[in-house]
């Protein structure tokens, strides 16, 4: 596929802008534009045009979303072209050039199954993807499989993806571990099941309820059995009610069919065949009669024809005479004109001859014979004379001018002075010019030093904390950046711990407060007895009881004992009655105590973290003590540290600039001294100068003046030499011209002798005589030709008359005395008439043969039809067609009854539910039809009553099951069951997730390995060649090595100097980028040899390449452009210049000039 045109009709910042890629002399296109010129928008537009504008797009800020339009033209490998537009929408987004919808299938032959994701991964390549590919080579250690897979599929971050999948899988499940989520869930499920087993209830109460539930199930089953029996009876009666009318209809049809059992069953189409055969027979007999009459008429016409065979035998001769008649008549008409033309030409020739030779006649012309060589010689001499004469005159004039110029140049050379020696001045000037514009550079550097000084002073003041000078700051030792990062990480970790403890402390305080509020609310609603109250009451009761046992009891003591007993019983009863309030109070008090303990623990941790923070702060301030500053926190000091490093770099740069400035000042003084010494020695020396630029200008002026003088002297000497040589050459040429003119005069006199002309005859006169003589000779030749033509015409006329008389005398003697002009047409007409009669005879014979064939076919058809009718009569056992028609009607009636009987039996089979016809009949006969309806109603009533009763038992069973379920365990068992179900559900979810992740990692690794096995050899061979070229020969290629620890195959780059294998971890960033680019281009080349061609889009992939490696890369891309179209986006003018150097016929599209 090739992109011919891209029209940004309404997209992003563009309105009716277009790019033309249809150039036939190149496949390499550079799209150049500054930042914000629309290159990225153009890239997105190209992708959206091919695959659709997404639902959400950022390119609808100038045009409304429904007005977005992208157009263009594509060309397939077969040469087919497609012009279409793309709009934003959910359907019918593909439009033709008239904005009518196009089916998406129209684009499939051009994309050849390519999806947007695959196109972006394989054929869209920018700087970020190149950098990421280089980073992946570093992180993956140059693993062969991963490197080839990433380059071949356009995928990135494979190592990161595999690591993430392994990490996520380990977080879910790991054998013989306890922390992964799935391991913890399995443990929770086992613990919940164990708690369920430990929970149990009273066996007696549960057995009673279970027995009641069993009895209810028995009653329910008995009712269900009765219902099944009644429903079966209801179903049987309903079936009898449905099938009884059908059975009666079946009986009637069977009786009617029995009456027709002797009727012969004919074929379904017997009647139609009889009617058709009878019609065919009548038609054939009528046609037979007509054809016989036609044959008789044709035979009469044949007998009436008379064919003249003699004329037909000689028809070719007669036709030949007819054709010759025209020539004969034309010759007769032309003969007088030819004779007149001959006499006219003869008079013209005599007139011409008198003009050049008045005393000669036409008969004397042979004496003036001149051969063709003599004639050509005469013409050549006449043509040569003007040139020879002109050449001699021209050479004489030029020779005189050259002699005059030679005298003038010699005089000028004698008065010209000699130039001085400039060797010392040129050497001094060369040294000065080699250094460039030193004074301007010195001014710029001096300005730069002043600016750097001001900038460093400002930076030192803005730095803060530091109170010393810039030089002291440059020399002081700063803590390492890693140490600052270490303390920053420790402060952050400590801050996170303090924040976490603070949150937990607040949470425990809230829990204590909430529990206290709930306890107070319960106590305000009424005093709640506790186990401790009961224990105290029972101890008091026991004490009173002991007192009664060991002392003399009185009524008051008994009364007191009874009160303690009553008090203990009341507390116990209240504990039972208010068990839920008691339990709630106990739980709240336990929660309050737990929260208070946790609050104390978190408070201790908080104070411990504060102590750690103070210690860490002291450590942090101690490392900055050598600088005599009190540091900020590490996060803030990181910025101060970076500013300080930058300021130190500025100080180093300022020092270097000052040293360079001093060296340049010394160089300028030295050059000024050298130029002044050289200029003093020259005669053109003027006033002394001090600035280097003025001295250079004066030196250049002196050299230019002296050089002009030297050049002028050299020019004069060279002109004198050239004039002398030209004078000698012209003298020789003039002599040759004079000799040639003398030789011409001799040859001219000899050439005029055949024409009887004098030697002083001018060339033009001789040429005119020769031309006139040629005209006379031509006319004499034409007169001879006309005379011979007249003789041939007379002979042809005589031969034609003799041939006509011979034919007429043998075939039509009655025309012998007629002129040939009349007899030949008459003969031709008679032959034509005879041919027409013969053609008519042949046509009649052909028609007779055709009609006889038709007659035979019709006779055969009559016989066949009669045989068909006889076969129908025999099958129906009839003697004539009338009885056959009656038999057909009876057969049709019998077949109708049989068909109705089959349909009825099919209905009985459907309604009879598989019972045979006999069983259905017996069942219907066993039931009284008058009682059938009443029996059905009774069954329905009984079924409704039983269903009501069973529903009541269903309700009772539900109540018993609910009660049994409530008895079966306690709250702990229920919670344990819920926890087990939740754990089981979570186990299933986590297991599925773990399976997906494990399979994903496994499939990806196998795909990488399979891709390596299939493509390693060809891809590495090509990538090795490209890598050597992209690195300018610093690496001589690639080879496969093995990792020291994992023994996995890895890529090694071979050094050009010693052949040492360098892993990707030992390569520079730029070299890794070039390695990934080589692998990527090799994969694209291999893909293009096996799949359809797609344009390759590259966007500023050479940002980090130097000029030489950029040029090498562009050369490789140009080679790839021989196979597919390449669109190279860049905002660097230098890359455009390099591309123009590397690519012949490069097409550059400037985004500023987009049409």
Q: Are residues 488 and 582 in the same domain?
A: yes
Which residues sit opposite 5 in a β-bridge? 20, 73
Q: Are residues 557 and 456 in the same domain?
A: no
Environment class of 136 (CB within 10 Å of its CB; exposed 0-12, middle 13-18, buried 19+): buried
Please state whether 476 falls in left (phi above 0), alpha (psi between -120 and 50) or beta: beta
Angle at 804 between CA 803 and CA 806, to 5 degrees: 65
Using an 8 Å Cβ cutoff, are 122 and 154 in contact?
yes
Q: Residue 1138: inside a domain, yes or no?
A: no
Q: Quick one: pLDDT at residue 716?
A: 81
Q: Quick one: pLDDT at residue 971?
A: 44
Using an 8 Å Cβ cutoff, are 235 and 915 in contact?
no
Using an 8 Å Cβ cutoff, are 357 and 368 in contact?
yes
Q: Residue 355: inside a domain, yes or no?
A: yes
Q: Residue 437: inside a domain, yes or no?
A: yes
Q: Are residues 891 and 857 in the same domain?
A: no
Q: Residue 936: inside a domain, yes or no?
A: yes
Q: Are residues 956 and 896 in the same domain?
A: yes
Q: How many structural domains is the chain composed of?
A: 6
Q: Quick one: pLDDT at residue 200?
A: 42
Q: Please say which residue of 951, 967, 983 terminates a domain.
A: 967
Instruction: Please tell me whether the overall predicted TM-score, pTM, comes out greater than 0.75 for this model.
Output: no
Q: Are residues 657 and 776 in the same domain?
A: no
pLDDT digit string, tens, across residues 332-359 = 777 888 788 888 887 887 888 777 777 7
Q: Are residues 522 and 543 in the same domain?
A: no
Total Cβ atoms within 10 A of residue 6: 21
Q: Are residues 334 and 462 in the same domain?
A: no
User: HSE of 616 in the Cβ direction (CA atoms, 13 Å)?
Assistant: 20
List C-alpha distances in Å: 218 to 71, 222, 227, 567, 957.
80, 6, 14, 51, 11
CA 175 to chain centroid: 46
Q: Please say which residue of 662, 680, 698 terminates a domain.
A: 680
- Alpha-helical runs (H) found in 371-419: 372-414
Q: Are residues 838 and 798 in the same domain?
A: no
Q: Are residues 518 and 606 in the same domain?
A: yes
Which residues sit opposite 1042 in a β-bridge? 1049
Q: Are residues 465 and 348 in the same domain?
A: no
Greatest CA separation for the chain: 212
Ranges under pLDDT 50 in the chain = 200-203, 525, 969-971, 974, 1155
Q: Are residues 226 and 326 in the same domain?
A: no
Q: Are residues 669 and 617 in the same domain?
A: no
Q: Residue 565: inside a domain, yes or no?
A: yes
| Long-range CB contacts for residues 958-964, cutoff 8 Å, separation at least 24 | 960/209, 960/212, 960/213, 960/216, 961/213, 963/209, 964/206, 964/209, 964/210, 964/213
Q: Residue 961: inside a domain, yes or no?
A: yes
Residue 444's domain spans which residues? 424-477+636-680
Q: Please say which residue of 774, 790, 815 terminates a domain.
A: 815
List C-alpha distances in Å: 458 to 260, 375, 452.
129, 107, 10
Q: Residue 1103: inside a domain, yes or no?
A: no
Closest residue by Cα to residue 305 from 841, 836, 849: 841
Q: Residue 734: inside a domain, yes or no?
A: no
Using an 8 Å Cβ cutoff, are 70 and 95 in contact?
no
């Amino acid at each position: 596929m090739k992109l011919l045109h891209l029209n940004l009709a309404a997209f992003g910042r563009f309105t009716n802008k277009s790019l033309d890629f249809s150039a036939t002399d190149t496949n390499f296109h550079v799209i150049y534009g500054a930042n914000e010129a629309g290159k990225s928008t153009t890239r997105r537009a190209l992708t959206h045009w091919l695959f659709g504008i997404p639902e959400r797009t950022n390119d609808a800020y100038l045009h409304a979303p429904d007005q977005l339009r992208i157009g263009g033209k594509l060309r397939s490998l077969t040469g087919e072209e497609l012009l279409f537009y793309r709009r934003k929408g959910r359907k019918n987004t593909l439009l033709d050039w008239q904005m009518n919808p196009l089916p998406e299938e129209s684009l499939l032959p051009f994309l050849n199954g390519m999806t947007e994701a695959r196109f972006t991964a394989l054929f869209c390549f920018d700087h970020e993807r190149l950098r990421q590919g280089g980073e992946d080579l570093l992180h993956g250690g140059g693993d062969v499989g991963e490197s080839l897979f990433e380059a071949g599929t356009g995928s990135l971050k494979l190592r990161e993806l595999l690591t993430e999948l392994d990490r996520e899988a380990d977080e879910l499940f790991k054998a013989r571990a306890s922390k992964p989520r799935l391991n913890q869930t399995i443990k929770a499920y086992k613990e919940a099941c164990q708690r369920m087993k430990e929970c149990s209830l009273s066996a007696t109460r549960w057995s009673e309820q279970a027995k009641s539930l069993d009895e209810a199930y028995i009653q329910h089953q008995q009712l269900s059995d009765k219902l099944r029996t009644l429903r079966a009876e209801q179903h049987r009666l309903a079936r009898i009610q449905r099938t009884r009318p059908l059975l009666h209809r079946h009986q009637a049809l069977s009786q009617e069919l029995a009456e027709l059992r002797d009727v012969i069953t004919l074929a379904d189409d017997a009647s139609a065949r009889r009617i058709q055969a009878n019609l065919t027979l009548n038609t054939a007999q009528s046609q037979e009669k007509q054809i016989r009459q036609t044959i008789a008429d044709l035979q009469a016409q044949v007998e009436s024809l008379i064919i003249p065979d003699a004329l037909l035998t000689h028809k070719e001769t007669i036709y030949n005479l007819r054709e010759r008649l025209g020539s004969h008549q034309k010759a007769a008409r032309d003969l007088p004109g030819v004779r007149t033309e001959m006499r006219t030409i003869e008079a013209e020739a005599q007139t011409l001859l008198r003009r050049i030779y008045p005393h000669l006649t036409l008969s004397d012309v042979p004496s003036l014979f001149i051969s063709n060589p003599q004639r050509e010689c005469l013409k050549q001499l006449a043509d040569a004379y003007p040139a020879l004469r002109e050449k001699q005159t021209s050479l004489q004039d030029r020779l005189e001018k050259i002699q005059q110029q030679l005298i003038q140049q010699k005089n000028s050379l004698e008065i010209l002075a000699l130039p001085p020696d400039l060797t010392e001045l040129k050497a001094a000037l060369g040294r000065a010019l080699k250094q460039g514009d030193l004074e301007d550079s010195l001014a710029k550097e001096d300005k730069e030093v002043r600016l750097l000084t001001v900038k460093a002073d400002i930076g030192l003041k803005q730095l803060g904390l530091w109170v010393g000078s810039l030089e002291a700051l440059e020399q002081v030792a700063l803590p390492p950046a890693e140490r600052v990062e270490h303390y920053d990480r420790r402060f952050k970790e400590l801050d996170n711990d303090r924040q976490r403890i603070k949150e937990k402390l607040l949470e425990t305080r809230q829990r204590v407060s909430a529990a206290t509020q709930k306890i107070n609310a319960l106590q305000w609603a009424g005093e709640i007895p506790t186990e401790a109250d009961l224990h105290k009451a029972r101890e008091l009761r026991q004490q009173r009881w002991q007192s009664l046992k060991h002392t003399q009891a009185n009524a008051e003591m008994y009364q007191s004992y009874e009160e303690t007993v009553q008090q203990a019983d009341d507390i116990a009863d209240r504990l039972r009655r208010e068990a839920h309030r008691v339990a709630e109070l106990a739980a709240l008090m336990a929660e309050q105590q737990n929260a208070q303990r946790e609050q104390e623990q978190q408070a201790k941790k908080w104070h411990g973290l504060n102590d750690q923070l103070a210690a860490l702060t002291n450590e942090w301030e101690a490392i900055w003590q050598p600088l005599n500053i009190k540091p900020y926190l590490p996060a803030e000091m990181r910025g101060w540290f970076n500013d300080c490093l930058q300021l130190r770099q500025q100080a180093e740069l300022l020092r270097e600039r000052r040293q360079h400035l001093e060296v340049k000042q010394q160089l300028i003084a030295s050059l000024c001294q050298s130029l002044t010494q050289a200029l003093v020695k020259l005669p053109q020396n003027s006033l002394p100068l001090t600035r280097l630029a003025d001295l250079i200008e004066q030196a250049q002026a002196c050299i230019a003046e002296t050089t002009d003088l030297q050049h002028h002297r050299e020019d004069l000497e060279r002109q004198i030499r050239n004039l002398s040589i030209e004078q000698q050459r012209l003298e020789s040429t003039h002599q040759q011209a004079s000799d040639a003119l003398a030789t011409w005069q001799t040859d001219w006199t000899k050439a005029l002798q055949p024409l009887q002309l004098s030697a002083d005859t001018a060339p033009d006169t001789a040429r005119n005589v020769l031309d006139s003589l040629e005209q006379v000779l031509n006319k004499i030749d034409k007169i001879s030709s006309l005379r011979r033509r007249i003789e041939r015409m007379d002979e042809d006329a005589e031969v034609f008359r003799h041939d006509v008389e011979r034919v007429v005398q043998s075939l039509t003697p009655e025309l012998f005395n007629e002129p040939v002009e009349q007899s030949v047409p008459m003969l031709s007409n008679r032959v034509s008439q005879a041919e027409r009669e013969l053609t008519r005879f042949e046509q009649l014979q052909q028609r007779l043969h055709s009609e006889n064939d038709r007659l035979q076919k019709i006779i055969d058809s009559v016989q066949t039809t009669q045989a068909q009718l006889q076969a129908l009569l025999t099958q129906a056992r009839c003697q004539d067609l009338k009885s056959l028609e009656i038999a057909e009607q009876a057969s049709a009636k019998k077949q109708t009854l049989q068909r109705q009987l089959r349909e009825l039996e099919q209905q009985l089979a459907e309604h009879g539910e598989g019972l045979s016809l006999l069983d259905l009949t017996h069942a219907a006969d066993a039931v009284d039809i008058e009682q059938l309806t009443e029996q059905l109603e009774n069954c329905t009533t009984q079924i409704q009553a039983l269903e009501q009763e069973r529903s009541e038992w269903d309700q009772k069973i539900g109540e018993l099951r609910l009660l049994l379920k409530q008895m079966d365990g306690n709250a702990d068992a229920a919670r344990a069951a819920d926890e087990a179900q939740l754990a089981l559900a979570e186990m299933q979810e986590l297991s599925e997730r773990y399976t997906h992740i494990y399979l994903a990692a496994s499939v990806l690794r196998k795909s990488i390995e399979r891709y390596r096995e299939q493509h390693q050899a060809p891809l590495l061979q090509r990538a090795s060649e490209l890598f050597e070229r992209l690195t300018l020969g610093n690496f001589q290629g690639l080879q496969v090595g093995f990792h020291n620890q994992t023994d996995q195959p890895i890529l090694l780059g071979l050094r050009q100097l010693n052949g040492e294998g360098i892993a990707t971890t030992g390569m520079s960033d730029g070299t890794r980028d070039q390695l990934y680019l080589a692998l990527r281009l090799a994969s694209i080349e291999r893909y293009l040899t096996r799949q359809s061609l797609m344009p390759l889009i590259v966007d500023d992939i050479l940002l980090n390449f130097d000029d030489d490696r950029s040029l090498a890369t562009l050369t490789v891309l140009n080679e790839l452009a021989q196979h597919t179209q390449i669109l190279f986006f860049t905002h660097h003018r230098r890359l455009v210049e390099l591309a123009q150097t590397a690519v012949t016929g490069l097409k550059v599209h400037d985004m500023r000039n987009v049409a």
